[in-house]
A and B are shown apart, each in its own frame.
Chain A
Amino acid sequence: MITLQYVAATALSLLVFVAMANFVVDLYARGVVRAAVDEAARAGAAVDSTAEECERRAHDVLAGLLSGQAGRSISVTCRERGGLMEARARVALAGWVPGIPTWTFTLVGTVTKEGLP
């Protein structure tokens, strides 16, 4: 009987550790997205840059730092708004085990657009 209890308790403990590891990796992913929108907005803020270049830069950063399923769950759009280049990332990070909800959030990076004197 005690073996059964031990196996069940160990399995539950491992689930807890997987959930914690899931949370840590999600925090890393959020850091990557923050870096990506910041880089993208800066790339798109140059005087001769466009929203397409902003989006391309965001995808380059994400491809380098967060490839795989998590990277594919991120969509980045750029637009020019009121003298600013805005990069908006919508993120949906799925849980690793059933019972952990998908973490969805939006991060926005804005940089003042350069202008000709």
Chain B
Amino acid sequence: MRWRSESGFVATELVLGVGLLVIPVALVVLTLPGWSERQATARAVSREVARATARDGICDVARARVRAAEMAANLGVPSPDLVVDLGCVDGAPLPPGGDVEARVTVAMPAIQLPGIGAVGGWSWTARHREPVDRYAVAP
């Protein structure tokens, strides 16, 4: 009985195993921190937009969107991935003692491969309600 040669291709197999199995799975897992980043950005933007609107005392949706786009870009999230809406009538003054709600919806990619792109996804909304100063109009 003759044994087949036991010399194999362990180096090739190991490298292929790492290259074809481990790295693709690791890249998919790296999508998870992106979800957290986008949620944190949406929370920060909703808080700041609501705060600025309450401070100004006027419901200005256009200004809120400009502010949100600037913040998102500064924090590393593409501006088109963010949609901002205010819970008030555009252009109307805010009643002292009332509140204003900012809703920020951010696109969440299901899988995002660094340097390649995103596949699928859903959206996530952050809400922040800010009180308007009761004495803002007092002299």
Chain A residues packing against B (C-beta within 8 Å): 1-2, 5-6, 8-10, 12-13, 16, 20, 23-24, 27-28, 30-31, 34-35, 38, 105, 107-112, 114-115, 117
Contacts and interface: CB of A to CB of B under 8 A. Distances in A.
Contacts of B138: 117
Contacts of A5: 10-11
B26 interface: yes
Contacts of B51: 111-112
A13 B14 contact: yes
Nearest to A27: B33
Contacts of B118: none
B37 interface: yes
Contacts, number: 68
Contacts of A105: 76
Interface of B: 7-8, 10-11, 14-15, 18, 22-23, 26, 30, 33, 36-37, 40-41, 44, 48, 51-52, 55, 70-71, 74-76, 133, 135-136, 138
A6 B10 contact: yes
A45 to B, nearest CB: 9
21 contacts: A2-B7, A2-B8, A5-B11, A10-B14, A12-B15, A13-B18, A16-B18, A23-B30, A24-B33, A27-B33, A28-B33, A30-B76, A34-B41, A34-B75, A35-B40, A105-B76, A108-B74, A108-B75, A110-B48, A112-B51, A112-B52
Helix, strand, loop or mixed for chain B's interface?
A: helix
Given A5-B11, A34-B37, A34-B75, A110 B23 contact: no
A8 B18 CA distance: 14
Contacts of A27: 30, 33
B43 to A, nearest CB: 9
Given A6-B10, A27-B33, A109-B44, 10 more contacts: A5-B10, A13-B18, A16-B23, A20-B23, A27-B30, A31-B33, A35-B40, A109-B75, A110-B48, A117-B133
